Chain A
Amino acid sequence: MIFFDNVSKIYNSHSVALRDVTLRIEPKEFVSIVGTSGAGKTTLLRLLLREEEPTSGRILLDGFDITDVRRRDLHRIRRRIGTVFQDYKLLPMKTAYENVAFAMEVAGRAPEEIAEDVPQAIQLVGLTGKENNFPHQLSGGEKQRIAIARALINRPDVLLADEPSGNLDPVNTAEIVKLLLKVNGLGTTVLLATHDSKVINDLGRRVITFDAGRIVSDEEHGTYMPDVGEEKI
């Protein structure tokens, strides 16, 4: 379970990323976080990864306050959370296989386990045969699928996806969303931050809408209708 307890993130009086956010996410939920750019979606995910620290409030992961974790123990949180980024964040000098295996290596898993799990994960994301390609030899969709394989490999409790389809065409976007649903079906909590209304409306899952750092709606089977003003832009 993830619990944001009255969390604010304030850079300065002109720049408030999150204001008094209280939010509970149950295990195995699939939650979409939506809102315009700057609404606070990414900040929410960054706080959960402890890439940043909240100005006030507590963030609990299975009843355990992650704002208390010391910097040198951060890896303990991060190994329980898989992350997928808009810009993929693959290691450029490692092959697809090595990128996925790396997440297992840092977690101290045995070589036999790595040799068994990595091909399975690559098969799950449909990239068997491209194990030895470097990221620059993969398309955007393929890179993102490798990133998802990496995020899943340690069987995390939570998968964070920050605009995973932001750089992808509709076909690849649909593939990625299908993968995320598959992952959720295997029992992983998924938090998907996006401003792609089509993705949200096709999903028909819980949707939390942010605006200017506050939660403005939280619906069990939500939709997302961006302001007409934003559509024009």
Chain B
Amino acid sequence: MALTTLKRVLSAGYVSFRRNAWLSLATIMVMALALFVIGNLIFLGAFANTVLAQLESRIDVSIYFQPNASERDIFSVKHDLESHADVADVAYTSRDAALAAFRDRHKDNQLITGALAELGDNPLEASINVKAKDSSRFAAISSFLEQKNYSIVDKINFSENERVVERLGSILTAVRASGAVLALVLAVIAMLVAFNTLRLVIYTMREEIGIMRLVGGTGWFIRGPFLVSGALYGFFAALVTTVIFFPLTWYASPKLAFLVPEFNLFSYFLLHLVEFSLIMFTFGITLGILSSFIAVRRYLHV
């Protein structure tokens, strides 16, 4: 009995989906659009994260040492820094390496190479480049260095860059927070559009719902097929969206890589395909069923 009812509800939902083919197609397209917006927000989030992480990794602090400082002393400073909780990475550049890099950078500039040759001696200092785990932790690292007050340290460029570093840090935080809010607002709008479309679909069928009621249908027997149709709309919308993202990410990938070489959209999509389609299908099907449920309820009061 229950099985027969379930079979009837499923087949009625499918038949209605098929017979109202144009209406179904239009609904799927609108829902796909909503899911497309949500999908784009996911990619935008990933892209923004990569960009922000890149920016953050470019913020660093350099510690320059007196020219006569021994490598042993410098390495003990390096070791202290490495064991600091807020430090992500420490890179040592010796005086010779600094000079080689400098020469390489200015090899086309006659004036500079000439001046270097005249000097004879290496004018550059050895340095340690420190990267923090988080841009907001530089102040802690800086105060740690001040407290230690190493005699071999010539200068720390953090104090010069302090305001820039701090401002960049607060910008990054603001971008992350407002990006999340914006994504949420857009996702909600997309869902409302899909919800309203389904409400319109069911509005056009409100008389049928009334008739079914008068013929003696129970609430669930009438509602069931609409939920099945709603789930089918969501399923196909998710399918369409996921498929569309294949050529789209493939096409957009090199263009984005031009902006941020570290971000490969297409491989990101392929790598997260399972999670991505899971989100799409869950969103689509839940949205379809829930919208239908709410919309049908109004017209069942006969």
Contacts and interface: CB of A to CB of B under 8 A. Distances in A.
Interface of A: 49, 51, 71-72, 74-75, 78-79, 83, 89-93, 102-103, 105-108, 110-111, 150, 154
B217 A93 contact: no
Shortest beta-carbon contacts, A-B, top 8: A79-B216, A78-B216, A106-B217, A75-B216, A89-B211, A103-B215, A75-B218, A93-B19
Interface residues of B, number: 22
B20 A93 contact: yes
Chief secondary structure at chain B's binding surface: helix
Interface in B191-230: 207-208, 211-219, 221-222
A110 B216 contact: no
A211 to B, nearest CB: 27
Given A91-B208, A111-B4, A75 B19 contact: no
Given A89-B211, A93-B19, A93-B20, A103 B216 contact: yes
Interface of B: 1, 4-5, 8, 16, 19-20, 207-208, 211-219, 221-222, 301-302
Contacts of A93: 16, 19-20, 208
Given A51-B302, A89-B211, A111-B4, A106 B16 contact: no
Given A89-B211, A105-B8, A72 B219 contact: yes
A71 B218 CA distance: 10
Contacts of B221: 105-106
Contacts of B1: 108
Interface centre among B5, B208, B216 (most CB of A within 10 A): B216
B65 to A, nearest CB: 83
A75 B216 CA distance: 4
Contacts of A102: 212, 215
Given A83-B214, A93-B20, 12 more contacts: A49-B214, A72-B218, A78-B213, A83-B215, A89-B207, A90-B211, A91-B211, A93-B208, A106-B212, A106-B216, A106-B217, A106-B218
Given A75-B217, A106-B218, A106-B221, A91 B212 contact: yes
Interface centre among B16, B19, B212, B215 (most CB of A within 10 A): B215
Contacts of B20: 93
B216 A89 contact: no
A78 B212 contact: no
B228 to A, nearest CB: 14
